[in-house]
Amino acid sequence: MSDTRRDIPSDGAYTDFKEKMTYGDYLQLDSLLDSQKRLSDHHDEMLFIVIHQVSELWLKLMIHEIEAATNAIQNDEFQSAFKMLSRVSKIQSQIIHGWDVLSTLTPAEYMEFRNYLGNASGFQSYQYRLVEFVLGYKTPHIVKIYEKDEALHHRLQEAFEAPGLYDVSIQALAKNGFFINQSILERDFSKKYEQDSTVEDAWLEVYKNKDKYWDLYQLAEKLVDIEDWFQQWRFRHMKTVERIIGHKTGTGGTSGVGYLKKVLDHYFFPELWEIRSKL
């Protein structure tokens, strides 16, 4: 009789998966790792594809967490929302480090396969636009880009018309007794948010009385964390693009670095930055 015990690792790890789900099965690694289709024979195109695919996976998780946090705030479940928003900030730090890896690509190397990209550009990332929408920044011309894909267009339109993270945070101020202009509370959420004095006054009061309004104070700081990381991500994006292509026009038709510099000045939560000069 053969000694079958020698087939079993001493640490008890399973080795027979003929009828069991493996790690690769669960993560669908066959399809995931088969998704890096280079259009050129250039070695560094693999780096370019992987970095952008990884970023899209992180964006997917960010959207998942922000949407859940938005619902939690609407239901006054602040602690759950804080956990999710903290996770978003950690995700953002990972995406930022991705630029460090991509910046190892030199201009000469990128030029050898750039033409294969055609007009494909990160500007067209629908998940990046969804992140902007769920945070509360709405730009109508963006939705039009995706009209040819009915399901995707519907998904974007829903997020475009729904209250974003900052909208529900402002609603939370009103729920806690702060006066907020009715036009803000009842506004068309598909319109770009404009800074409001009553919102600023409310946040200023929260910061001056943080012990009394501890949940709102923590919420405000979670929002500032996210915006801070977002600005750092935009800056690293801009500098990486400048490092690799200089001031050439982007593959998607934008002005490239010029366009990226402009968006550095945008704020999702303007009042939370304004009050810092008034405390």
Q: Which residues are annotated as a binding site for substrate?
A: 48-52, 110, 114, 251
Contact 185, 202 (CB under 8 A): no
Binding residues: 48-52, 110, 114, 237, 251
Which amino acid appears at position 251 of this protein?
T
Contact 227, 208 (CB under 8 A): no
Binding residues for heme: 237
Contact 161, 190 (CB under 8 A): yes
CA distance 27 to 164: 31
Percent helix, strand, coil in the chain, to 5, is: 65, 0, 35
